[in-house]
């Protein structure tokens, strides 16, 4: 006759409970009986588990029960098969994007430069020609007298004065700095000139602009 192995068995003194049999005699360890005897019996805490229902997918897992496959439901959402991970951008595609951004930046800079440089040069030119917009015939006459006295040779009679000078022709509205080696017409003034020998005559002074933004004067008289 085989001896009864140690384990949990129905308590002979309380059919609704379980009692631990150590293989030789009943002990004082007791536990609640399984609701379904066909599924086995679960031991109380602190005792070795002696069979019982295995954990099935979709049911809450109890400590001490072996996992029988399925998807765990302990916190968060279970992983669903068939979902591909997010695709990463290849290094080649990333390099092309960087190149495109760099080229785009150079194009933007080039366009801005193409717009800004002409505007800057135009403003600079206007600033350099600002003195001509306020130039008067009295100033032109004074400059003409100073030039004549400075440039006159020994056999020439210099202009020593010029009065009642008025504008004859004015080209300042369309004035631009000319190309090197050429001049641009600014304005002409006419008045009464006094010469060093005491003679008087009608004098016309033309003002031109050279590429260095300097005045060039020319005198003629009647």
Helices (H), the chain: 91-128, 130-133, 137-151
Chosen domain end from 9, 25, 49: 49
* In-domain check, residue 70: no
What pTM was computed for the model?
Answer: 0.45
With tokens 């033309």, the residue in question is 206
Range of the domain at 18: 1-49
Is 110 within the bounds of a domain? Answer: no
From 144, 129, 138, select the one nearest 207 (Cα to Cα): 144
216 or 75: whose pLDDT is higher? 216
pLDDT in tens, 178-221: 999 999 999 999 999 999 999 999 999 999 999 998 889 999 99
Domain-located, residue 153: yes
Number of folded domains that form the chain: 2
Residue 122 counted as domain residue: no
């Amino acid at each position: 006759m085989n001896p009864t192995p140690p384990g949990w068995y129905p308590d002979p003194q309380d059919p609704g409970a379980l009692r631990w049999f150590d293989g030789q005699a009943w002990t004082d360890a007791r536990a609640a009986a399984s609701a379904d005897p066909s599924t086995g019996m679960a031991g109380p805490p602190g005792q070795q588990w002696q069979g019982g229902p295995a954990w099935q997918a979709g049911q809450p897992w109890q400590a001490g029960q072996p996992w029988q496959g399925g998807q765990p439901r302990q916190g968060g959402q279970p992983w669903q098969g068939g979902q591909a991970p997010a695709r990463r951008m290849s290094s080649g595609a990333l390099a092309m994007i960087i190149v495109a951004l760099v080229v785009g930046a150079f194009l933007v800079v080039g366009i801005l430069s193409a717009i800004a440089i002409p505007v800057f040069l135009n403003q600079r030119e206007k600033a350099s020609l600002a003195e001509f917009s306020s130039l008067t015939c009295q100033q032109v006459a004074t400059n003409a007298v100073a030039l004549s006295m400075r440039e006159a040779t020994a056999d020439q009679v210099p202009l020593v004065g010029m009065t009642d000078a008025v504008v004859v022709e004015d080209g300042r509205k369309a004035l631009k700095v000319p190309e090197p080696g050429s001049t641009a017409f600014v304005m002409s003034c006419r008045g009464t000139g006094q010469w060093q020998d005491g003679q008087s005559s009608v004098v016309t002074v033309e003002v031109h602009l050279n590429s260095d933004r300097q005045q060039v004067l020319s005198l003629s008289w009647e």
